[in-house]
């Protein structure tokens, strides 16, 4: 895979949101993985019409199997989808995406100029890039990005990050302020994405992971504090293959917040990546049954009962968009059985807990979690072919649906299977 560097900028509309949407669109490309993303930097416009708004700028590092020309075409498509119009040079724009580096490629033709010809002159590009790739060597000037930055800074004032790389708090109304939420399996992937969104919305979050994920749980806790320093974030480490530990989780989570407003049962056994993918069908089935089904059912029934006594609560479970339509292979059979059981259980749970407590099931499709990051080119092509929106879903997409289902805007939604899959329809 080729290593790439991309610059992002916006000075029209909600600039932070535009950068966030661009990042999400790039991450959703089936043939690309984002490795890291810089802070946002606010800068004065360079050239163009007078009276322009200031820019927000950022940079990202990724890797891709796309050719340089294919990548550039995709960046132009994303710009167009986000409202970019090309008029005069250096005109204001909702989004600007520049391909800075593609490995050590040098190209000077009209269709593709790389490295970006003005990269070394632009402080607003060099500083975000130096934050995340200081040692990247410019293939023409034979100097690192950090060296180029120091030379440029010596001629003017340095920039400073104006806020953290995630959304500004004021971009999202803190509708969950004071609410308490348990999110199982929230140290990575979809669960982590949900935890981040709920922290942005003001929620106090209980992070859950396995005992072996202690360091990752601390990392997530610190990240949530950066997103919203006013929130409360606790960690509970329990293994769901042990019924005793599942019961301990229920008691501890309920006692920490003196009750729960939301319970999101996201935790699932990994049967796809690394050595987990090499296990036998029967071993995978036993693991999935214990973690995805038995632990989820136990947590939902007990916490749901307590919520019902309190007169309020929302429970979300995790299904699969293809459980009811089917998919070939061992994984298709396993997940149809396991996630199909949870989807049916959730409908009955909703009937039991109504009208005070709502229960719905999230049913993600092709979501770019750790398995999606490693998926072979065959799977990457399949995702793009099957998905009308032509990209991977992201944990943020699932998190947005989870937040809506827990909000008062979804007060008439219960017992529903909510597919988050970019429009995939299988017969």
Kindly report, residue by residue over 378-399, the tens digit of the pLDDT.
888 888 888 898 888 899 999 9
User: Residue 247, class by beta-carbon neighbours within 10 Å (0-12 exposed, 13-18 middle, 19+ buried)?
Assistant: middle
The phi-psi region of residue 351 (left if phi > 0; otherwise alpha if psi is between -120 and 50; otherwise beta) is: alpha
- 44: annotated active-site residue: no
- 118: annotated active-site residue: no
What residue ranges define each of the domains in the chain, with the CATH number in brackets?
2-163 (3.30.70.560), 172-420 (3.40.50.720)
CA distance 40 to 43: 10
Select the more confidently predicted residue: 92 or 346. 346
Catalytic residue among 20, 98, 292, 321: 98
Least confident of 159-168, 313-322, 342-351: 159-168
Torsion angle (degrees, nearest 10) of CA 383, 387, 390, 393 = -80
CA distance 404 to 411: 10
- 54: annotated active-site residue: no
Catalytic residue among 15, 20, 33, 96: 96
Kindly report, residue by residue over 261-307, the tens digit of the pLDDT.
999 999 999 888 767 778 899 999 999 999 999 999 999 999 999 99
Catalytic residue among 84, 166, 197, 210: 84
pLDDT band at 48 (very low <50, low <70, confident <90, very high): low
Look up residue 38 and give its DSSP letter.
Answer: -
CA distance 308 to 356: 6
CA distance 133 to 54: 25
Catalytic residue among 15, 33, 93, 180: 93
pLDDT (0 to 100) of residue 278: 83
pTM here is 0.77
CA distance 51 to 414: 50
- 84: annotated active-site residue: yes
The dihedral through the CA atoms of 178, 179, 182, 187 has a sign that is negative
Assigned token pair, 382: 């399949």
Q: Which residues, including other chains, have CB under 8 Å from residue 341's CB and lie 6 or more apart?
A: 293
């Amino acid at each position: 895979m080729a290593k790439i560097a991309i610059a992002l900028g916006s000075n029209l509309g909600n600039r932070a949101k535009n950068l966030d949407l661009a990042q999400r669109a790039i991450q959703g490309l089936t043939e690309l993985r984002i490795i890291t993303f810089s802070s946002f930097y606010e800068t004065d416009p360079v050239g163009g019409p007078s009276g322009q708004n200031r820019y927000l700028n950022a940079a990202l590092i990724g890797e891709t199997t796309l050719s340089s020309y294919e990548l550039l075409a995709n960046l132009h498509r994303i710009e167009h989808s986000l409202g970019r119009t090309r008029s005069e040079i250096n005109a204001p724009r909702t989004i600007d995406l520049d391909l800075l580096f593609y490995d050590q490629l040098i190209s000077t033709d009209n269709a593709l100029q790389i490295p970006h010809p003005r990269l070394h002159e632009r402080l607003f590009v060099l500083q975000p890039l130096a934050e995340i790739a200081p040692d990247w060597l410019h293939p023409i000037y034979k100097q690192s990005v950090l060296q180029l930055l120091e030379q440029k800074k010596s001629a003017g004032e340095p920039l400073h990050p104006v806020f953290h790389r995630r959304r500004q708090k004021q971009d999202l109304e803190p509708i969950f302020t004071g609410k308490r939420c348990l999110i199982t399996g929230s140290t990575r992937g979809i669960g982590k994405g949900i935890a981040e969104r709920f922290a942005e919305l003001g929620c106090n979050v209980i992070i859950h992971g396995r005992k072996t994920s202690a360091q990752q749980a601390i990392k997530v806790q610190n990240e949530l504090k950066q997103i919203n320093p006013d929130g409360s974030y606790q960690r509970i480490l329990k293994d769901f293959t042990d019924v005793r530990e599942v019961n301990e989780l229920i008691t501890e989570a309920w006692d920490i917040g003196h009750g729960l407003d939301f319970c999101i049962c996201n935790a699932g056994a990994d049967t796809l990546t690394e050595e987990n993918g090499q296990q036998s069908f029967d071993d995978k089935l036993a693991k999935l049954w214990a973690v995805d089904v038995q632990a989820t059912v136990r947590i939902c029934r007990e916490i749901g009962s307590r919520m019902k006594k309190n007169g309020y609560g929302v429970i979300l479970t995790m299904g699969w968009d293809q459980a009811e339509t089917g998919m070939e292979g061992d994984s298709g059979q396993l997940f149809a059985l396991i996630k199909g059981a949870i989807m049916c259980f959730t409908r009955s749970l909703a009937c039991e807990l109504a009208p005070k407590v709502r229960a719905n099931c999230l049913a993600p499709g092709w979501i770019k979690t750790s398995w999606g990051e490693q998926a072979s080119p065959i799977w990457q092509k399949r995702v793009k072919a099957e998905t009308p929106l032509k990209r991977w879903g992201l944990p943020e997409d699932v998190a947005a649906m989870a937040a809506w289902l827990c909000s008062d805007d979804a007060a008439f939604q219960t017992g529903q299977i909510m597919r988050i899959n970019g429009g995939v329809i299988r017969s």
